[in-house]
Structure 1
Amino acid sequence: MTVGASSSPEKSRPSIFWLLAAIVVPLVGIVARIDIRDREKLPSDGAFVLAPNHHSEIDPLIVAVATWRMGRAPRFLAKESLFRVPVLGAALRATGMVPVARSRGAAAQALAQAKELAAKRNGVIVYPEGTLTRDPALWPMRGKSGAVRLALAGDLPLIPMAQWGAQALMPRYGKLSLFPPRKPMTVVVGDAVDLSDLRGRTDQAAISEGTERLMAAITGLLEQLRGETAPPERWDPSQHGQTETGKL
Structure 2
Amino acid sequence: MADLLYPPVIGAARAWFKALDLRFDIHGTEHVPSRGGAVLVSNHISYLDFIFTGLAARPAKRLVRFMAKDSVFRHKVSGPLMRAMKHIPVDRSRGEGAYAHALKALRSGEIIGVFPEATISCSFTLKDFKSGAARLAQEARVPLVPMALWGTQRLWTKGHKRDFGRNHLPVSIRVGEPMNTDQDEPAAGVTERLRERVQELLEAAQRAYPAVPKGAADSWWQPAHLGGTAPTPAQARAL
1:25 deviates by 1.1
Match of 2:126 in 1: 140
Where does residue 228 of structure 2 map in the other structure? none
Per the alignment, residue 66 of structure 2 pairs with 76
CA contact (8 A) 1:76 1:125 kept: yes
What amino acid is the match of 2:134? Answer: V
3-state SS of paired residue (2:173): strand
Alignment partner of 2:104 out of 115, 126, 144: 115
Aligned partners of 1:105, 1:25: CA distance in 2, in Å?
A: 32
Report if the CA contact (8 A) 2:29-2:56 is conserved. no
Q: Deviation at 1:158?
A: 0.5
Residue number in structure 2 paired with 1:126 = 114
Task: Name the TM-score, length of structure 1 as normaliser.
Answer: 0.75
- Pair 209,36 (structure 1): closer, same or farther in 2 beyond 3 Å: same
Residues in 1 aligned to 2:181 and 2:38: alpha-carbon distance in whole angstroms = 13
Q: Distance in 2 between matches of 1:15 and 1:185?
A: 28
Q: Distance in 2 between matches of 1:134 and 1:83?
A: 24
Name the % identity.
Answer: 31
**Contact map agreement 1:111 1:154 (CA 8 A) in 2:** no
Alpha-carbon deviations, 1:179-237, whole Å to 9, x = none? 453311111110122422xx166xxxx12111111110000111112229x97xxx996
Cα distance between partner residues in 2 of 1:14 and 1:215: 32
Aligned-pair distance for 1:80?
3.8
Work out the CA distance in 1 between the residues paired with 2:161 and 2:80: 29
Which of 77, 80, 88 is the equivalent residue of 1:90?
Answer: 80
Partners in 2 of 1:212 and 1:150 — Cα distance?
15
Alignment CA distance shift 1:216-1:45 (3 Å): same
> Structure 1 residues 223 and 112, CA, compared in 2 at 3 Å: closer, same or farther?
same
Q: In 2, Cα distance between the equivalents of 1:51 and 1:176? A: 25
C-alpha RMSD over aligned residues: 3.0
User: When the two structures are superposed, what TM-score results if normalisation uses the length of structure 2?
Assistant: 0.77
**2:112 equivalent to 1:160:** no
The answer as to 2:115 corresponding to 1:99 is no
Cα distance change of structure 1 residues 177 and 69 upon mapping to structure 2, 3 Å threshold:
farther
Unmatched 5+ stretches in structure 1: 1-12
Q: Extract structure 1 runs of 4+ deviating beyond 6 A.
A: none
* Corresponding residue number in structure 1 for 2:35: 45
Report the more deviating stretch, 57-66 or 182-191: 57-66
Read off the aligned partner of 2:115 and give its amino acid letter: Y
Q: How many residues align?
A: 218
* C-alpha distance in 1 between matches for 2:39 and 2:90: 15
Correspondence for 2:202: 222
SS of equivalent to 1:242: helix
* Deviation digits for residues 134-174 of structure 1 (CA, Å, limit 9, x no counterpart): 43xx2212111221121122112111001111123335421
